[in-house]
Amino acid sequence: MSDKIAYARHGDIAVLTVKNPPVNALSQAVRQGLWDGMNKAEADTGVRAVLIVGEGRAFFAGADIKEFGKPPLDPHLPDLIRRIEASPLIVVASMHGVSLGGGLEVALGCHYRIAVPSARVGLPEVHLGLIPGAGGTQRLPRLTGVDAALDVMTTGRPIGAAQAHDLGIIDVIKDGDPAENGLAYAQELLDAGAIRRAVSELPLPAAIDWDATFDATLARSKGQISPAWCVRAIEAAYAGDFEAGMKAERQIFFDLMQTDQRKGMIHAFFSERAVGNLPELKGVAPREVSRIGVIGGGTMGAGIATAALLAGLRVHLLEMSPEAGEVARGRIESNLSGALRRGKISADQHAAILGDALQVVTDYDALAEADLVIEAVFEDMAVKKVVFAELDRVCKPGAVLASNTSYLDINEIAATTSRPGDVLGLHFFSPAHVMKLLEVVVADATAPDVAATGFALGKALGKTSVRAGVCDGFIGNRILSTYRTCADHMILDGASPYQIDAALEAFGFAMGPFAVADLAGLDIGWAVRKRKRTEGLDPRARDAAYADKLCEDGHFGQKTGKGYYDYAAGPKARVPNPDVMPLIEAERAAQGITPRDFDDEEIVRRYMASMVNEAAKVVGEGIARRPLDVDMTLLFGYGFPRYRGGPLKWADIVGLESLLSDIKGYAEADPYFWAPAPLLEKLVAEGRTFDDLNKEG
Ligand code: CAA
């Protein structure tokens, strides 16, 4: 028998203990071990029941995702589950930790289920671009009814033991050791003369309106197809029987396995975990951080302070005056009330945070004991230098000094202090207590344990942290600046902001670039444009100034009620601002451009080509370590559709050769903007992909 399953006999009960750390994924060896274990139990004279229990953190985290995309190996999970369910012995699952995907499906194939109160169960396959593929779509509805089963499957959200018990998924909840609980429960069942109970033999619950539910699910999933296919898989049993349902489920599962969405989502799953895994941080202990200082209580500073408070850190927030301090406190209190309303913190935690975890101060000396200070003041190098001089003066030795700048040179900031090794960039995204991305900007002199502290803080705050090198805009904003410029060029040439937003939202972006600009505040882009013009634009660069005129008139987007869109009826009911197109038309006329038509496909191709080209430069220059670092930056900070994996995964799927050929074609009209990235040319010449670079580490 495989060493992944231990077989033991306790009286009339055979115990199959799964040992596949860290999370008992159902790899081939585990499946084979369970199969052999069932054979052994059935052949073991006197055994009347089998207990399946996981060792370590979980019952089962599901199918082994590393096997996806490879030829399936015997025994297949649906066959194993069928074999378990068909056993004449009573089979009991004792669940703890997570039982996800194939893990819950194994439990549903058992005849009885017991769980500890902290257990969580779910069918998260939609997050991998799949549907449950081992009977989940057939067995779960028979226990819970169709609506509840669809909720579990289409959201992919795990549910707690209590809810699972209410839904009939778990028979008994009991605190204690899962193996001991399971043995006691199996013995009770034997003593009570309990009979074998197969979920697949339960009658089908009431049918629903399948077509309407399919359409509604598809519409809700923003371009992702797998949730809607859960509906079709369940429906199949109603036209035939359990076997027909299983067959349909398998077919849909295999069809989805071949899709680009599955590839994109599995890339996202592994990249999300690999992103903080950097050779330079191996074995480097982060510095201790329990007290942090935040300089500046604007939207960003207040958001950072909120994130830190929610993570249980003590925060000293520094503002220029008591009045500004009160405004900042108000912002934080409002953020915290939101967290309380959404159930992210309890009323007691809320009170404790406001009690003394947050101190609003006006004197730098109050930061003397801070372990880490994040500056979130106005985006101006001279202002930042003054702040860092003060921090250098008051902060204790070993304190980490961080700037939240989105564009400015961290090397230059670090050089103004006597301790450049302690300085790094921690670039949060607004609202900082909500957005998942943190760019950890490692400057030339940043000490390894300071970089490690940045990652540790990110983890404590629940962020996905990406390592970035120093350049104008780091990873995310540098790429944003390029694809946004591409959008502006298309506008000058004939597209409208609204057509561009609609085309990109149809591609899967949470918001198009102009709606994003309105949300972030048009003054931010305006300040960057002014700075770049002051520094001197390359004479070959095409400039677009129409948006400056909006800003000059005081229209900064959502916060002033008007930008590219008019928000008089609220952010969700935005309509195009009628002042915008005349500004664009005037600029086209001034530049002597005759506008032409763009179709949505061309908009997406150009926009994505500019994004991939800049991303390839960012990787080629070492600003991002690996292509996956860019992918995660765009996914977690810029609303890139997860089911496409990230821009460089998307590029691999589309094909690098055709992308490079597009770029070279566009470069004929504008060789400056469309200069191909050397890394992209190299990969095409060598017939390799971005993912090949990810694998090199
Ligand atoms: N297969 C292979 N590896 C897995 C895995 C799986 N199902 N689940 C987790 N892992 C790996 C992770 O990649 C990670 O590996 P590294 O340490 O090498 O990075 C390790 O296990 C630990 O995972 P996390 O860092 O995510 O640990 P966590 O405690 O934060 O979360 C978890 C644990 C909740 C199980 C989370 O990993 C998770 O959600 N896993 C995926 C669960 C899932 O999607 N299951 C469905 C699989 S599809 C399926 O089952 C299809 C079917 O119907 C047949």
- Ligand 1 binding pocket includes 125 (Cβ within 6 Å): yes
Please answer whether residues 321 and 296 qualify as being in contact, where contact means their C-beta atoms are separated by less than 8 angstroms. no
pLDDT at 535: 86
- Ligand 1 binding pocket includes 140 (Cβ within 6 Å): no
Predicted TM-score of the model (pTM): 0.92
Measured distance CA(124)–CA(105) in Å, rounded: 12
Residue with CA nearest ligand 1 atom 36: 61
- Bridge partners for 244 per DSSP: none
Nearest-atom index, ligand 1, CA of 269: 13
Residue 157 has pLDDT above 80, yes or no: yes
Mutate which of 30, 64, 65, 98 for ligand 1? The one with the most ligand atoms within 8 Å of its CB, which is 65
- Per-residue pLDDT reduced to its tens digit, 469-494: 999 899 999 999 999 999 999 999 99
Lowest mean pLDDT among 118-127, 286-295, 518-527: 518-527
Residue 667: C-alpha distances to residues 206, 658, 683 (Å): 60, 14, 19
Residue 1 has pLDDT above 80, yes or no: no
Nearest-atom index, ligand 1, CA of 131: 53
Task: Taking residues 319-329, report their average pLDDT.
Answer: 95
**pLDDT band at residue 175 using 50, 70 and 90 as cut-offs:** very high
Nearest-atom index, ligand 1, CA of 133: 53
- Per-residue pLDDT reduced to its tens digit, 500-558: 999 999 999 989 999 999 988 898 888 888 888 888 888 888 988 898 999 999 999 99
pLDDT at 532: 82
pLDDT at 405: 92
pLDDT at 551: 94
User: What H or E segment, with its residue span, contains residue 8?
Assistant: strand 5-10
Residue with CA nearest ligand 1 atom 45: 62
- 14-38 core/surface letters (b: 16 or more CB in 10 A; e: else): bbbbbebeebbbbbbebbbbbbbbb
Nearest-atom index, ligand 1, CA of 77: 54
Residue with CA nearest ligand 1 atom 20: 22
Cα 556 off chain centre by = 29
Residue with CA nearest ligand 1 atom 24: 273
Please answer whether residues 96 and 118 qualify as being in contact, where contact means their C-beta atoms are separated by less than 8 angstroms. yes
Measured distance CA(313)–CA(305) in Å, rounded: 9
Catalytic annotation, residues: 105, 125
Average pLDDT, the chain: 95
- Ligand 1 binding pocket includes 62 (Cβ within 6 Å): yes
Question: Angle, to 10 degrees, between the axis of helix 242-257 and the axis of helix 136-144?
Answer: 130
Task: Taking residues 275-286, report their average pLDDT.
Answer: 92
- Per-residue pLDDT reduced to its tens digit, 210-269: 999 999 999 999 899 999 999 999 999 898 889 999 999 999 999 999 999 999 999 999
59 C-alpha to ligand 1 centroid (Å): 12
Task: Taking residues 601-630, report their average pLDDT.
Answer: 98
- Per-residue pLDDT reduced to its tens digit, 3-50: 999 999 999 999 999 999 999 999 999 999 999 999 999 999 999 999
- Ligand 1 binding pocket includes 72 (Cβ within 6 Å): no
Residue 343 has pLDDT above 90, yes or no: no
269 C-alpha to ligand 1 centroid (Å): 8
482 C-alpha to ligand 1 centroid (Å): 35
pLDDT at 340: 92
Residue 70 has pLDDT above 90, yes or no: no
Provide the H-helix boundaries in 240-380.
242-257, 260-274, 299-310, 322-341, 347-352
- Ligand 1 binding pocket includes 129 (Cβ within 6 Å): no
- Ligand 1 binding pocket includes 247 (Cβ within 6 Å): no
54 C-alpha to ligand 1 centroid (Å): 15
pLDDT at 92: 98
